[in-house]
């Protein structure tokens, strides 16, 4: 089955740029979606189809996807961005959804 | 605004069947424009997709859970349901229902329920 690999944690100072990676075999050929999950809350979609933002999501959130790595970039990080972030793809070989293991973003 | 709400027992005994229902409001589940999914999350761990259903009743399941999972839809009640059989403590988790944005391939989950905690214990 398809595997998505995320770093367990990323730390960044306020105002800096956070980059969260999601690795997978030829992930560049897939559409990658990203979710933000704060403690005790349901996940929220922040980026879909590699780099598109749902309405209401700040432009500070952006995404890219190429080769074996997709990246969620959060510019001008704020304290309120502290959360767990998950990448997600559709695995057509098994007709199933796959999530990455999640990355905890800490704002120093 | 679409809203999803999970309901069902919060405590299930080992070897029994976990049953949850997701009630959709603010839109018709039978519009034919979406898939409807179940996702779970054990405490302190990541998200695990359980499966999805289309209005027609067509389903896809996580291969690792497929033998124990049944997802069904009741369009008259605007609900879809999850049954997970032969549960063990490893099935203890927060269970979410969610809407897939469209029926096109590889779509994201755009609306989620608040989640419901199900504990498997005797």
pLDDT tens digits along A74-84: 999 999 999 99
Nearest Cα of chain B lies from the Cα of A14 at a distance, in angstroms, of 25
A48: Cα within 13 Å, side-chain hemisphere: 16
What chain B residue is nearest to A34 in terms of C-alpha separation? B108
Which of A33, A44, A99 lies nearest to residue B48, judging by beta carbons?
Answer: A99
The shortest CB-CB distance from A33 to any of B96, B108, B114 is to: B108
B21/chain A closest Cα distance in angstroms: 17
Residues pairing with A12 in the sheet: A107
Cβ of A95 and B60 within 8 Å? yes
Q: Does A3 touch chain B (CB under 8 A)?
A: no
Q: Write the CB contacts of A67 (distance below 8 Å, at least 6 apart in sequence).
A: A26, A27, A28
Categorize the per-residue pLDDT at B61 as very low, low, confident or very high, splitting at 50, 70 and 90. very high
Contact status of A30 with chain B (Cβ, < 8 Å) = yes
Q: How far is CA B8 from CA B20, B84, B121, in A?
A: 5, 12, 15
What does the angle CA A43 – CA B93 – CA A1 come to, to the nearest 5 degrees? 75
Which residue of A1, A48, A86 is in closest CB contact with B46?
A86
B67-91, pLDDT tens digit by residue?
999 999 999 999 999 999 999 999 9
CA angle A92, A47, A13 (to 5 degrees): 130
What is the pLDDT, as a whole number, of residue B37? 97
**Short-list B36, B20, B4, CA closest to B117:** B20
DSSP A5: B
Cβ–Cβ of A1/B63 closer than 8 Å?
yes
Return the sign of the alpha-carbon dihedral for residues A19, A24, A28, A31: negative
Pick from B46, B62, B115: CB nearest A42: B115
Q: How does the average pLDDT of chain B come out, rounded? A: 95
pLDDT at B31: 82
What is the pLDDT at residue B103?
Answer: 85
As a whole number, mean pLDDT of residues A80-91 equals 97
Task: Please state the rounded mean pLDDT for residues A18-25.
Answer: 98
pLDDT band at B33 (very low <50, low <70, confident <90, very high): confident
B63 contact residues in A (CB cutoff 8 A): 1, 94, 96
d(C-alpha B75, C-alpha B49), whole Å: 22
- The per-residue pLDDT for A18 is 98
pLDDT in tens, A63-72: 999 999 999 9
Residue A86: its pLDDT value, please?
Answer: 98
Closest CA to A29 of A68, A64, A63: A68
Q: For an interface test with B, which of A97, A99, A102 has the most B Cβ atoms less than 10 Å from its Cβ?
A: A97
pLDDT at B30: 86
User: Scanning every residue of chain B, which has its alpha carbon at the shortest distance from the alpha carbon of A29?
Assistant: B106
Model confidence pLDDT, tens digit, residues B46-57: 999 999 999 889
Q: Smallest Cα–Cα separation from B109: which of A17, A26, A36?
A: A36
Report the distance separating Cα A5 and Cα A24, nearest Å.
7
* Whole-number average pLDDT of chain A: 97
């Amino acid at each position: 089955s398809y595997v998505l690999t995320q770093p367990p944690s990323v730390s960044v100072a306020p105002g800096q740029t956070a980059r969260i990676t999601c690795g997978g075999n030829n992930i560049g050929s897939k559409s990658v979606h990203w979710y933000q999950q704060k403690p005790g809350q349901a996940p929220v979609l922040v980026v879909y189809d590699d780099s598109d933002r749902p309405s209401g999501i700040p432009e500070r959130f952006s995404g890219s996807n190429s080769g074996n790595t997709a990246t969620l970039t959060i510019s001008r990080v704020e304290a309120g961005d502290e959360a767990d972030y998950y990448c997600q793809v559709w695995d057509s070989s098994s007709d199933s959804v796959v999530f990455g293991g999640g990355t905890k973003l800490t704002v120093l | 605004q679409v809203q999803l709400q999970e309901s069902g027992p919060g405590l299930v005994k080992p070897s029994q069947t976990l049953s949850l229902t997701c009630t959709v409001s603010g839109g018709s589940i039978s519009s034919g424009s979406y898939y409807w999914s179940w996702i779970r999350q054990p405490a302190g761990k990541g998200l695990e997709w359980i499966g999805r259903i289309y209005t027609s009743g067509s389903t896809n399941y996580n291969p690792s859970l497929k033998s124990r999972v049944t997802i069904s839809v009741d369009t008259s009640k605007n609900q879809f349901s999850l049954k997970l059989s032969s549960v063990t403590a490893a099935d203890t988790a927060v269970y979410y229902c969610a809407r897939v944005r469209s029926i096109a391939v590889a779509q994201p989950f755009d609306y989620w329920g608040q989640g419901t905690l199900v504990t498997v214990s005797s």
